[in-house]
Amino acid sequence: MMPESETGLVAQHITVVTRGIVAMWCSLWLSLLLFPLSVSTARLPTVLPTDSVFLEDYVVSTGDTLDLSCNPDGPAQAVLWFKDGSGLLPSNRTRVDQRVLRIINVSYEDSGMYSCHVTHDNNLLSNYTIRVT
Question: How far is Cα 25 from Cα 120, in angstroms, rounded to an integer?
Answer: 47
Per-residue pLDDT of 30-45, as tens digits, reads 666 666 555 444 444 4
pTM over 0.75: no
DSSP 20-32: HHHHHHHHHHHHH
Question: How far is Cα 61 from Cα 10, in angstroms, rounded to an integer?
Answer: 62
Q: Give the pLDDT of residue 104.
A: 93
Q: Is 87 left (phi over 0), alpha (psi -120 to 50) or beta?
A: beta
Q: Give the pLDDT of residue 130.
A: 92
What number is the average pLDDT over the span 104-128? Answer: 88
